[in-house]
Chains A and B, each alone.
Chain A
């Protein structure tokens, strides 16, 4: 599972992004281009996984709603999608949550379910029972997720 040399011959990885990309290597191995792709609102770029050559498309996109009866998003959420012919993973790195599926759309929907489960789980857990990271996730989720306003009868 260790990174293999890219097609330019360099055994380069992008350590600063390894949590997000798992050691994805661009043809140019440019950390700057990865950074730009990650932070752009809707940017897609074709990059290559370390290991067996397989094109992976990585892009960020906006999630505007959770599709839940009781919960919604306060503002659109920027999430990262990595997809190739076999699978897709959508993630919200800030809370270390991901969803998977065979397409980007499936992965995004799975991520929505995951965000809802994590929000409810953390809301049901007292802060004193949470470690440093889950406590941060809880704060981030409270900023992003809100109860859906009840409709007027």
Chain B
């Protein structure tokens, strides 16, 4: 997966996202006024993100491999991701 694809997905599909400052590429997912999880975007580098880094980002997003593919490739919408997070909150995992 390309760096830009993942970054774009993280920027557009993290509910209630607030970047702390313009230089900060890390993102928070926020629901109902509470920060639930944080995603680390590595420093800009060209081309594909490597597998271990992608896996770490996926784990921070609390997605399985298939969900993460959908998240990056637009099949999982912001609303659906928000629903996923609410399910995890209801299950006491977030």
Footprint of B on A, CB under 8 Å?
1-2, 19, 22, 49, 51, 82, 84, 86-89, 91, 96-98, 100, 110, 114, 117-118, 121, 125, 128-134
Contact = CB atoms under 8 A, between A and B. Distances in A.
A100 B59 contact: no
A86 B56 CA distance: 15
Interface in B19-33: 20, 24, 26, 31, 33
Nearest to B52: A89
Given A22-B59, A87-B51, 12 more contacts: A1-B68, A19-B59, A84-B52, A91-B56, A96-B59, A98-B53, A100-B52, A125-B35, A129-B34, A131-B31, A131-B89, A131-B94
A87 B53 contact: yes
| 10 shortest interchain CB distances as A-B pairs | A1-B65, A87-B50, A22-B55, A131-B36, A89-B52, A98-B56, A100-B53, A131-B34, A100-B42, A134-B35
Contact of B34 (A2, A87, A96, A130): A130
Contact count band on B: 20 to 34
B7 interface: no
Interface in B41-94: 42-43, 50-53, 55-56, 58-60, 65-66, 68-69, 89, 92, 94
A87 B52 contact: yes
